[in-house]
Amino acid sequence: MFKGVLYLFLFLVFGEIIVHLFNLSIAGSIVGMVAIFIALKLKVIKLNDVKPASDQFIKYMVLFFVPYGVGLMTFYDILKMHWIAIVISTVLSTIITLYVTAIILQKFGKDE
């Protein structure tokens, strides 16, 4: 599992470095996630090396959102003022995401 955590954090650092070097307006963690996806697809690293660590992180993912939720409360006045727009945009974006995902799955999904 140590090897998996090491891979995950190395790709996270790699993503942060790429964002910093090229002054990209995207999060380094996203770049790292895409990079590890490519490495897994090209079989540069094995899924068995990363899976145990990623399963543990997913198991405790809820804890990773607690600081963001607490930090969000510092903007309570703004949230209170614009709650209708926030709720509508959240619901619409969720519906659109589900719809697009379903279309992509139907188009590119594996036939079994």
Tens-binned pLDDT, residue by residue, of the chain (112 aa): 899 999 999 999 999 999 999 999 999 999 999 999 999 999 999 999 999 999 999 999 989 889 988 988 899 999 999 999 999 999 999 999 999 999 999 988 765 5
Q: Show the DSSP H helices in the chain as ranges.
A: 2-22, 28-41, 47-59, 61-72, 76-81, 83-108
Do 7 and 53 share a structural domain?
yes
Look up the domain containing 28 and give its range: 1-59
pLDDT for 112: 53
* Same-domain status, 3 and 38: yes
Q: Report the pLDDT value the prediction gives residue 101, as an integer from 0 to 100.
A: 94
- φ, ψ at 24 (rounded to 5°): -80, 155
pLDDT at res. 33: 96
* Total domains in the fold of the chain: 2
The predicted pLDDT at position 110 comes to 65
**Same domain, yes or no: 72 and 41:** no
pLDDT, position 39: 97
* 79 and 48 housed in the same domain: no
Distance, in Å, from the CA atom of 82 to the CA atom of 4, rounded to the nearest integer, reads 42
Tokens of 26: 């995207």
43 in the same domain as 83: no
The answer to whether residues 83 and 101 belong to one domain is: yes
